[in-house]
Amino acid sequence: MTATAATTTITLPEMGCGTWAWGNRLFWGYNESMDADLQQVFNCCVENGVTLFDTGDSYGTGKLNGQSEKLLGKFSQVYEGPNKENICLATKLAAYPWRFTRGMMANAGRASKERMGRLDIAQMHWPTANYFPWQEGPLLDGLADLYEQGLVKGVGLSNYGPKRLRWVHKRFSERGIPITSLQVQYSLLSTYPVTELGLKELCDELGIQMIAYSPLGLGLLTGKYGENTPKPKGFRGILFRQLLPGIQPLLDCLREVATERDKTMAQTSLNWCICKGTTPIPGAKTLDQAKQNIGAMGWRLSPSEVDELDRAAATSDKQMVQNIFQTQ
């Protein structure tokens, strides 16, 4: 089978929903009392066409192990509204140091599927090429086994650069397995994967759909945080203090475009990602946040507005810290 013969049968929606916060206590302050609100978020998203839900088997540790997947499984099974047939559950399987054989990776996928009741896209959470290159091949083989055995509808990758992406694409194509999606950190604060690595062009060439994670820069692109406003606790607060005020000109430009459009800064940021041909997966912990994100759909920034935001992003003094696992 040639490298171009395998094509995915899954089409991603205009926007998805990231669920890192659904189970993560350390970074996002999750607790079980939020579950009823999260069910409302899920329902609202699906009703409005946000049918892709992205999670990871590492989202939730200790007694909350696999919590995000468990919640998605519960929510999707009880949901009976519009677009039910379009729900797509995707999880990222972690490349833990103790997960090093194809069987272990396949078993991880089976465990995720059991927690969720279904698994549409299984993804490699990060490549190990930068530190344990010997580990990566077996894990990818295990991922491919899940597809061959009919346990998932598609396979995807996360944090892969063009060199490694081509390598995986060739490896999978030899088995007739298409790559459905590639996730990268992509936003007005993180244009590196596209502008520096050229990943969007390569994905288009290979028939892979690009997912933009952290499309709101962990909240910085919502306009909620400024130099003189309270910062989040923990790591996010430390990071925000480092990036502000260096990104203020970008935020000013974003605010101006959003005001002219009668949209919020968050909606404008997400629409910019959509205009770039990606599927952004912003998180939402409340119904208001979900509705805010949904307002980014159904319209498009003009080419001149996109160019204006591109220039502001390119000349920004600060950029979001890149994922340490992102490869070339």
Count of CB atoms situated within 10 Å of the CB of 251? 23
Q: Residue 295 and residue 196: Cα distance in Å, rounded?
A: 30
Residue 201, both tokens: 């062009």
Residue that is written with structure tokens 């406003």 in the block: 229
Rg (CA), the chain: 19
Sort 242 into a burial class: Cβ within 10 Å, 0-12 / 13-18 / 19+: exposed
At residue 158, φ and ψ (nearest 5 deg) are -145, 135
Asked if 59 is an active-site residue, the reply is: yes
Distance between CA atoms of residues 183 and 256, nearest Å = 29
Which among 30, 59, 160, 213 is annotated as catalytic?
59
Rounded to whole angstroms, the Cα distance separating 4 from 327 reads 23
What is the rounded CA–CA span in Å between residue 265 and residue 105? 40
Give the catalytic positions in this structure: 59
